[in-house]
Amino acid sequence: MSFISPSRALSLFSVSFLSSADSKRDRFKDQRRFSLSDGTATVMAAQMDFNLRPYQEEVVQAALRGENSIIWLPTGGGKTRAAVYVTQKHLETTANAKVAVLVNKVHLVDQHFAKEFKPYLERRYHITAISGDSNEKDFFGRLVKASDLIICTAQILENALINTEEEKHVELSDFTLLVIDECHHTQKESVYNKIMGRYVEKKLRKEGNLPQILGLTASPGTGGNRKLDKAVEHVLQICANLDSVIVSTKSFKPVLQKVVPRPKKQYDIVEKRALDPFGDHLKAMMSMIHEFMPSIVSRSLREMGTQEYEADVVELEKTGVQKENRLIAQCALHLRQYNDALLINDTVRMVDAFQGLDEFYSSKKTKLLDGTDIFLQGLFDGMDCLLC
C-alpha cells in the first residue's frame, strides 16, 4: 500500500482541477466560435433576445460606451436584466474580457446565477458562481483564470485581493468589468467600499489596467439626511466612492411608471365626531382618579386629551417617584395611559384606543401591591364594559 502526502495530494488535485477548468473554458470558446459561424447563430440569437424596455436601453448607454456608471432603477424595473445585457455586450466586444458580479448577500449569488445570468449567457460563456458556503472559494484565483464570468460575494473578492497564495489571489486588473449589486452600500466600512478604495487608489497612482465599474441600485438613499443639500451630498459621495456617474431614465419615465407604478398617498380629512361617548367615559374615569389624589395636585393639571396634559402627568409621575409617594406616581402613570387613549381616539378608531388600555391593564392585574393598585384596576374593570 502506498501513501501520498497531503501536500502532494493537493498539488495533484490542483493540476487536475486547472486542467479540467482549462478544458471547459476551451470548450466554451469553441462553442462560441461555432455558434457565430454556423446556422445555429440565428437560433441562439433568438434565445439571447433581451427585449429591453426603452428606459432600460436608455440607462445602459453609458456602460455600453465603456464608462463607469450606476444604473438607478426602482425595484422591479429590471436593473439586473440590464446588467446582464451590458455583461453580454462587454464579453462580445472586449478582448480577453473577464467579468465579476459582486453581491452583498450569499443567497443572491445563486439567485443572480440561476434567474438572470445563466439563462442568457451560459450557452456561450463559462460562468462560475461562488459563495461563502462553496469550497471552490479556496481556488478562487484559478477559477477566475478559467472563467469568463464570476458571480460571488464581495467578501470573497476582498479576501482574494489580500491573499498571497497563487491559487487564491487575484488582482483588480484581472477583470475588465465589475458589476456591483446594491451598490448604495459602497460607503463607510463596507466590503464594497474597501474594494473600491483599492480601485481608486490604483487609479490615482496609475497602476495598470482597471476594470469598468457598473453599479446597480434601486435607491442611492439619503444617508439619513432630511435636508436636500445633505442628501445630494450623500449621493455624490456614493458616486465618488464608485468612481461613477449615476444614470436614471429621463426620456421614458411614463413607460417606467407603467411597469413599476409608484404608490400614491392620499390624505382624507374627516369631520370631528358630533358625539363621543367613548371619550366622555374616559374623561369621567380620569376625573375619578383626580378625586382619589390630593386636590392640590389635581388642580394643577391642564385640559385632558392634550399634549400639555401628558407633559403634566409625566412630571407628576417623576415627582411622585422622587418623593416616594407611590399613590401620586401610580395615579400619574395611569392618567397618562388614559390620556394616550384620548389622543388615539381623537385620531383613529375607538377600538384602537381601547386596545391600548386593555393591554396595559391586563399586564397590571397580577401586580396589585396596595390599595392604590386595587382602586385603579377596579376602576377600569368596572367600566370596561362601557368602553368596549
Shared domain check, 232 and 110: yes
- Domain end among 203, 232, 259: 259
Exposed e or buried b per residue across 187-202, where buried means at least 16 C-beta atoms within 10 angstroms of its C-beta: beeebbbbbbebbeeb
Q: Determine the Cα–Cα distance for residues 378 and 54; give it in Å rounded to an integer.
A: 68
What pLDDT does residue 93 have? 97
- Angle of CA points 98, 100, 106, to nearest 5°: 155
**Residue 285 within a domain:** yes
C-alpha cell at 162: 489580500
With a CB cutoff of 8 Å and minimum separation 6, the contacts of 245 are 62, 67, 68, 69, 70, 239
Q: Determine the Cα–Cα distance for residues 313 and 298; give it in Å rounded to an integer.
A: 10
Furthest CA-CA distance within the chain: 100
**Residue 76 within a domain:** yes
Shared domain check, 355 and 207: no
Of 295 and 52, the structure prediction assigns the larger pLDDT to 52
**Residue 294 within a domain:** yes
Q: Tell me the C-alpha to C-alpha distance, in Å, between residue 231 and each of 69, 219, 262.
A: 19, 12, 21
Q: Tell me the pairing of strands 69-72 and 99-103.
A: unpaired
Q: Which domain holds residue 281?
A: 277-387
Shared domain check, 215 and 70: yes
**Residue 180 within a domain:** yes
- Look at residues 119, 128, 133, 70 and name the one whose alpha carbon lies nearest to residue 99: 128
**Residue 271 within a domain:** no
**Residue 368 within a domain:** yes
Q: What is the pLDDT of residues 76-85, one digit of tens each?
A: 999 999 999 9
Shared domain check, 235 and 142: yes
**Residue 9 within a domain:** no
CB 217 within 8 A of CB 242: no
233-245 mean pLDDT: 98
CB 156 within 8 A of CB 140: yes
Shared domain check, 119 and 217: yes
Shared domain check, 190 and 88: yes
Lowest mean pLDDT among 80-94, 289-303, 373-387: 373-387
Shared domain check, 348 and 234: no
Shared domain check, 233 and 91: yes
* Alpha carbons within 13 A on the beta-carbon side of 339: 23
Q: Determine the Cα–Cα distance for residues 353 and 120; give it in Å rounded to an integer.
A: 55
C-alpha cell at 157: 473578492
- Look at residues 213, 212, 211, 219 and name the one whose alpha carbon lies nearest to residue 248: 219
**Residue 1 within a domain:** no
- Domain end among 210, 227, 259: 259
Q: How many domains does the chain have?
A: 2
Shared domain check, 284 and 159: no
With a CB cutoff of 8 Å and minimum separation 6, the contacts of 178 are 99, 100, 102, 172, 211, 212, 213, 214
Shared domain check, 179 and 39: yes
Amino acid at 348: V
Q: What does the DSSP 8-state code read for residue 246?
A: E
What pLDDT does residue 268 have? 80
What pLDDT does residue 138 have? 73
Shared domain check, 292 and 360: yes
200-225 mean pLDDT: 95
Q: Is the pLDDT of residue 32 over 80?
A: no
Lowest mean pLDDT among 227-231, 313-317, 383-387: 383-387
Shared domain check, 287 and 206: no
What pLDDT does residue 113 have? 96
CATH for 363: 1.20.1320.30
- Domain end among 259, 292, 322: 259
Q: Residue 61 — pLDDT band, cuts 50, 70, 90?
A: very high
Q: What is the pLDDT of residues 276-288, one digit of tens each?
A: 999 999 999 999 9
DSSP H stretches of helix in 113-205: 118-121, 140-146, 154-162, 191-205
CATH for 119: 3.40.50.300
